[in-house]
Amino acid sequence: MVAGKNLSCICGASVDASSLIIKRTEGGGYRIVCPSPKCPLHELGSAKVIRSSQPKFEVKLSRMFKDWNVLLVGRESCDRLVRDLLKQISLKLRKFY
């Protein structure tokens, strides 16, 4: 993780894998939800299972969420933070699967 910098939602909530709410959808996918109940964006991304024998997930984050963080921390830092967050989310999803 990039030292001293964190991802945040447009509502101001700090975002890391432990704070995110992951909800299973009817189609077997997952919604990644902001930890703040008052968030106007609400959904920060989604995930779906690509392979079930050894779970592999395709995790996508909202474009608005990523653009917001580029403005706050810069593109290079945001890219590193997002990659780290995606890895953490994938590991968290494996525990559910």
| Domain parsing of the chain, residue ranges | 7-96
For the stretch 67-80, pLDDT in tens is 999 999 999 999 99
pLDDT above 70 coverage of the chain, percent: 94
Measured distance CA(46)–CA(22) in Å, rounded: 9
Phi, psi of 90 (to 5 degrees): -60, -45
Work out the percent of the chain whose per-residue pLDDT is above 90. Answer: 68
- Mean pLDDT computed over 2-20: 85
d(CA 76, CA 73): 8
pLDDT tens, residue by residue, 17-52: 899 999 999 888 899 999 999 999 999 999 998 876
Residue matched to tokens 């030292």: 3
